[in-house]
Structure 1
Amino acid sequence: MQLYNKLSAKERAALIDEAGKDRITISFYQYHKIENPQLFRDKLFIEWNTLDVLGRTYVSYEGINAQISVPAENFLALKEQLDAISFLEGIRLNVAVEQDNKSFLKLKVKVRNKIVADGLNDDTFDVTDKGIHLNASEFNKMLDDPNTVCVDMRNHYESEIGHFKGAVTPDVDTFRESLDIIEEDLKEHKEDKNLLMYCTGGIRCEKASAYYKHKGFKNVFQLEGGIIEYTRQVKADGIENKFIGKNFVFDHRRAEKISDDVIANCHQCGKACDTHTNCANEACHLLFIQCDECAETMENTCSTECQETIHLPYEVQKEMRKGKHASNKIFKKGRSEVLKYKK
């Protein structure tokens, strides 16, 4: 019985091309107490593998967080599988704004301590006592209210390329950092201001809203389904779009274009640009913004040192990578000193 992915990304990409079938990229989450995450994880892998589902899913005692793609012809079968699970019956599936058959190349279902790394002790508050969910139209109306403080609950490299007009965008590397910053900034307005939050698909706001209610905030609201569902409703219902730029996503696409605005710049030359890339030097792998011209000149690397490195013999590069498997924890995303025009 196969319980783990056995093919490389390159092999999967070739199979996708060979199949010639359109795939749908979707995401969903649900907070729910799962008694045996490992057993649930294995069940999902077996069922999803038969439907050729690809993607990244985290399962924990507190629920599930999934970003996956499925052949369009298997979408209804996937939905039937999910509906057969009591706490996932009727779950909202956030369909990607822009489709890419290679958004994911492997099926990974992992058991984690939490479905989102938030650094919180959930035993101190009720995670089910969440804020009020708003649809796109309701969100726009509250966004225009002068008594509202709208907060982007994502990290700096996400909000840098796109965010809602007038939103507060904390300059943070982690979700946990933003929680304390926002509480401190709004400590005098826990009762008289509307705290309006949003994130990519809603999962971070779900936990944050319960956290802030625990901290004494009286008027807590969140965008239901996040930016992904907001964009779908805007297009389907002809609602005014108040999001500018791109929505950062955690797959091979890296971002979805929501508006024509380019609000970021190349971290190497300063030119208007909102395209993320990972440094071609595997010992670095830094996530940063790079325009086409710099990508060509620098060969998709973040620095002269990394550019020189990629031309070294493979074995030498392999030796240099030792001890740097967690490079983002060292360099941070877009924080390297070699980037002259970083945020």
Structure 2
Amino acid sequence: MAVLHNRVSNQELKQRLMEETFNRTTISFYQYFPIQNPQEFRDFLYRHLQALNAFGRIYIAKEGINAQMSVPEENYTDFQKFIHSIEGLQDLRLNIAVDDDGKSFWVLKVKLREKIVADGIDDPSFSMQNKGKYVNAVQMNHLLEDPSTIVLDMRNHYEYEVGHFENAVEIPSDTFRDQLSMAVDMLKDTTADKNIVMYCTGGIRCEKASAWMLHKGFKNVFHLEGGIINYAQQTKKEKLDSKFIGKNFVFDNRLGERITEDVIAHCHQCGKPCDTHTNCKNDGCHLLFIQCEDCAKTYAGCCSQECKETLDMPIERQKEIRKGVENGQNIFNKSKVRLRPRLEEIRKHNA
């Protein structure tokens, strides 16, 4: 029986990826559709994708599939045929990455989840069958020019910070489940003639959010088909003005893809214009933050002088310091709430 999970270390897999002599294409896709036996479907996918030398991260739940992947260019046609041969995925749109170096993933992981997007919804009457109207890039631009349009960004703060649509409203929470209830509350006094347009990275969050808004009684609800990724591809192909400015944060090794040349964020350490995300090199921290090249040299890729000093210690001493530290939500949380106090501390130290 074939092994249906990886048994090789991440370090070796990354090395193999860097040594590949062929090109890879980074793809993302999702679909809300009923899966009766998620475990069986998971194993079926793993076998076929492994045979195609595909890497990536895929979540399977009874409500559907959510995937971000990379596939060798020579296998892309076979990959496309395979995905479209699956019942429920025949007309699935595959989002091709905008700014791709082919080094987005180095291992294949197919995991089971309760939901493909954690939403906190426990209302049995809620259904994804009734969702907002899709809009393409042309329609999105027209809606953005309409003064009766409200644009909601359904992403987290660290995504919004480096790039967003003009006049988009940021929902001040860093969990999707909280954003759903906050969006309803924020727009509770909105008049019926307003257009509510929602967007996210690839479409999966804003599609569910649009269904939730309709469920809560809102009328003119739209969501951007294929999210920012598809919008960027369409604007490039059809030579449209991009109303999205800056960088699109992505959840793989690239941490972002350039949409326009605008740099709207700032280095969290010196305040210089910069939109390059990185994780603190101290293994006991790994804070996600924005760092310019100069600060990367000064702090050796760390978020603070304290982490740099830890990084300079012998490995065994670093392990001792990390022992007993809970490497969970508080350390790896990328939220604005977690980030701001930490960065204030950094700035005071640098003053």
The TM tier, using the shorter chain, reads over 0.9
When residues 331 and 136 of structure 1 are mapped into structure 2, their CA distance, relative to the original with a 3 A threshold, is closer
| Local SS of the residue matching 1:123 | coil
Structure 1 residue 99 displacement after superposition: 1.2
The CA RMSD over aligned residues, in Å, is 1.6
1:324 maps to 326
Structure 1 residue 122 displacement after superposition: 5.0
* TM-score between the two structures when normalised by the length of structure 1: 0.96
* 1:128-147 equivalences in 2 (<5 Å): 128-147=129-148
For residues 319 and 223 of structure 1, the distance between their equivalents in structure 2, rounded to whole angstroms, comes to 48
For residues 208 and 320 of structure 2, the distance between their equivalents in structure 1, rounded to whole angstroms, comes to 41
* Deviates most, 250-259 or 177-186: 177-186
Structure 1 residue 318 displacement after superposition: 2.3
Paired residues of 1:287 and 1:333 also in contact (CA < 8 A): no
1:301 maps to 302
1:262 maps to 263
For residues 194 and 251 of structure 1, the distance between their equivalents in structure 2, rounded to whole angstroms, comes to 33
For residues 18 and 299 of structure 2, the distance between their equivalents in structure 1, rounded to whole angstroms, comes to 30
For residues 184 and 200 of structure 2, the distance between their equivalents in structure 1, rounded to whole angstroms, comes to 17
1:237-258 Cα shifts (integer Å, max 9, x gaps): 1111111000000000000000
2:342 maps to 338
For residues 263 and 334 of structure 2, the distance between their equivalents in structure 1, rounded to whole angstroms, comes to 23
For residues 338 and 328 of structure 1, the distance between their equivalents in structure 2, rounded to whole angstroms, comes to 11
1:68 maps to 69
1:250-292 Cα shifts (integer Å, max 9, x gaps): 0000000000111010111111110101011111110011111
When residues 202 and 235 of structure 1 are mapped into structure 2, their CA distance, relative to the original with a 3 A threshold, is same
2:284 maps to 283
Task: Provide the aligned length of Structure 1 versus Structure 2.
Answer: 342
Paired residues of 1:283 and 1:327 also in contact (CA < 8 A): no
When residues 189 and 264 of structure 1 are mapped into structure 2, their CA distance, relative to the original with a 3 A threshold, is same
Gaps of 5+ in 2: none
When residues 304 and 19 of structure 1 are mapped into structure 2, their CA distance, relative to the original with a 3 A threshold, is closer
Paired residues of 1:198 and 1:222 also in contact (CA < 8 A): yes
Is 1:240 matched up with 2:241? yes
Structure 1 residue 192 displacement after superposition: 2.3
Structure 1 residue 190 displacement after superposition: 5.4
* 1:1-343 equivalences in 2 (<5 Å): 1-121=2-122, 123-189=124-190, 191-321=192-322, 322-328=324-330, 332-333=334-335, 335-336=338-339, 337-340=341-344
| Local SS of the residue matching 1:69 | strand
| Local SS of the residue matching 2:169 | coil
Paired residues of 2:288 and 2:332 also in contact (CA < 8 A): no
For residues 216 and 236 of structure 2, the distance between their equivalents in structure 1, rounded to whole angstroms, comes to 36
* Deviates most, 122-131 or 245-254: 122-131
Structure 1 residue 121 displacement after superposition: 1.7
* Deviates most, 169-178 or 106-115: 169-178
For residues 111 and 122 of structure 1, the distance between their equivalents in structure 2, rounded to whole angstroms, comes to 22
| Local SS of the residue matching 1:142 | helix
Gaps of 5+ in 1: none
* Deviates most, 315-324 or 102-111: 315-324
Amino acid at match of 1:220: V
* Deviates most, 309-318 or 127-136: 309-318
For residues 190 and 44 of structure 1, the distance between their equivalents in structure 2, rounded to whole angstroms, comes to 46
Structure 1 residue 219 displacement after superposition: 0.6
